[in-house]
Structure 1
Amino acid sequence: MDTVLLIKAAIMGIVEGLTEFLPISSTGHLILAGSLLGGFEDARGKVFDIAIQTGAILAVVIVYWQRLRETAAGLGNDARARRFVLNVLIGFLPAVVLGLLFGKVIKEHLFTPIVVASTFIIGGVIILWAERRPQSAVRIQDVDQMSPMDALKVGFVQCLAMVPGTSRSGATIIGGMLLGLSRKAATDFSFFLAIPTLIGAGLYSLYKERSVLSTGDIPLFAVGLLFSFISAWICVRWLLRYIASHSFVPFAWYRIAFGIVVLVTAFTGVVTWAD
């Protein structure tokens, strides 16, 4: 396989891993990076973008391995473990239903740099608004305090991330905070919810688009997965330390600034962003 294409796959993997769990939209960054690098705009490229999320999810599984192992071991006799799994499944359900109903239409019409840039800016403004809410609004400090209704609400908020540039983690974390979760609880639940959501999306995409793939694509996907895993592992560990004493305001300003840069360069012709 072309060495240059493998290098591009590694870059895309790094972009995925660094942005998947930050409130800045991995899909949006992958669309923009793919547009600049070239070679990822076709159907295979869209499958690649979704498939390499599996590497990022593996990083979450490793970081939260103890909690996941304890939950699996306690399903037979631990009410807390069963409630936790039920909440994750309930939160996952809206993405399944709405994804099947509207996923194809959204991919055909909204996966463009201009849409991504616009949602970057809108999402940044929403984060600034959420971070200014009074601390007294927090009613859930830990994911184990969540009710099924809390999980369902976060699940519906997660569906906003079907629009590229919105950010799945941003929607679930900021949405969770607006629904009364602490920053730590919202971040933890976002990570746990990502496991079935992204694995499910990846497997479904691989199955649905299997006709455009071949065994020759294995090195490309393997490189993307590897670099996605490494960068996501570093990012998740850093983010969990960061949220202990910092807000998401810097990410909001990053989104707004980056979105403005993309819009300005697109409309002035400085950069030709491919749709």
Structure 2
Amino acid sequence: MDIIELFKALVLGIVEGLTEFAPVSSTGHMIIVDDMWLKSEQFLTQYVANTFKVMIQLGSILATVVVFKDRFIDLLGLGGRLNKTTVGPGRLKLSQVIVGLIPAGILGVLFEDYIDEHLFSTETVLIGLVIGAILMIAADRFGPKEPKIQTLDQITYKHAFTIGLVQCFSLWPGFSRSGATISGGVLAGLSHRTAADFTFIMAVPIMFGASAISFYKNLEYFTLDALPFFIVGFISAFVFALISIRFFLKLINRIKLVPFAIYRIVLAGVIALIYFT
């Protein structure tokens, strides 16, 4: 594998790290960058290329674990309780996170092969970008002006399940997991920051699960030649995700979702113009 291919892995990792936690669709950006410029599937099979995209998402997820390490330690009951006053009916529970994962988890298992084979394309991403943007605008428009849920510890099982239902939309590439779940959280009465925090925490187990399934199904495609490509992508996604998570969490309560929705619509228009002309 030459330096050009490693550069492609670096670029895809950066794109993933910068976009995974913004509601703009990291998968959509990777598909667009790869399909229209990098063409990584010219030297990797389709299944290995898709597995690579899952792996660099895993790099971003590990960055989430670092940022929320105290919260995950608390959820797993490993000691080191959070140094903050409990608000509301009690602390966020691991079982509430699991409830939020159930709807998309079931659909993801049932339709994983179909999604991998038929939905990873520029055309489907354009659809997801636009429809996801509409949902985000609706969330800002119809969500409560003064949300009652201001911390993770105020989230109930009903909130978790509602957000989980909306997360199902993110199985469509381009829709954006964070865009869907933050919108669902805002519509359910959470502040934008709390919805974002819960979104990132839910992303960890679901992406670990997706990675494990993908690795198991495509293990035969991993070779020593492809290994540097995976390592470079993973590291770059991890580093840039650390940067983007902290920046996004400081920003989201202030600017909310509409600016990201406008970006998605403009991006979809530019890509459609380039791709179809």
Q: Work out whether the TM-score is over 0.5.
A: yes
Local SS of the residue matching 2:41 = coil
The match for 2:15 is 15
Pairing of 1:160-199 with structure 2 (within 5 A):
160-199=169-208
The match for 1:44 is 48
Please say if residues 144 and 189 of structure 2, whose CA atoms lie closer than 8 Å, have aligned partners that are also in contact.
no
The match for 2:64 is 60
- Report the TM-score, using the length of structure 1 for normalisation: 0.91
What displacement does 1:210 show?
1.2
Q: Which amino acid aligns with 1:19?
A: T
Local SS of the residue matching 1:209 = helix
User: 1:235-272 deviations in whole A, cap 9, x for unaligned?
Assistant: 0000111124222221111100000111122221xxxx
Structure 1 residue 254 corresponds to structure 2 residue 263: yes
Structure 1 residue 221 corresponds to structure 2 residue 225: no
The match for 2:273 is 264
Show structure 2 runs of 5+ residues with no match: none
The match for 2:133 is 124
Task: Please give the alpha-carbon distance, in whole angstroms, between the structure 2 residues aligned to 1:118 and 1:260.
Answer: 11
What displacement does 1:73 show?
3.7
The match for 1:2 is 2
Please say if residues 88 and 193 of structure 1, whose CA atoms lie closer than 8 Å, have aligned partners that are also in contact.
yes
Please say if residues 138 and 182 of structure 1, whose CA atoms lie closer than 8 Å, have aligned partners that are also in contact.
yes
Structure 1 residue 135 corresponds to structure 2 residue 144: yes
What displacement does 1:203 show?
1.3
User: 1:120-169 deviations in whole A, cap 9, x for unaligned?
Assistant: 12222221222122534733222211111221121121111110000011
Please say if residues 40 and 46 of structure 1, whose CA atoms lie closer than 8 Å, have aligned partners that are also in contact.
no
Please say if residues 6 and 229 of structure 2, whose CA atoms lie closer than 8 Å, have aligned partners that are also in contact.
yes
Q: 1:99 aligns with which of 94, 108, 133?
A: 108
Show structure 1 runs of 5+ residues with no match: 269-275
What displacement does 1:46 show?
0.6
Please say if residues 172 and 190 of structure 1, whose CA atoms lie closer than 8 Å, have aligned partners that are also in contact.
yes
Task: Please give the alpha-carbon distance, in whole angstroms, between the structure 2 residues aligned to 1:40 and 1:124.
Answer: 29
Task: Please give the alpha-carbon distance, in whole angstroms, between the structure 2 residues aligned to 1:6 and 1:143.
Answer: 39
Identity of aligned residues (%): 39
Please say if residues 53 and 199 of structure 1, whose CA atoms lie closer than 8 Å, have aligned partners that are also in contact.
no
- Report the TM-score, using the length of structure 2 for normalisation: 0.90
Local SS of the residue matching 1:242 = helix
Alpha carbon RMSD of aligned pairs, Å?
A: 2.1
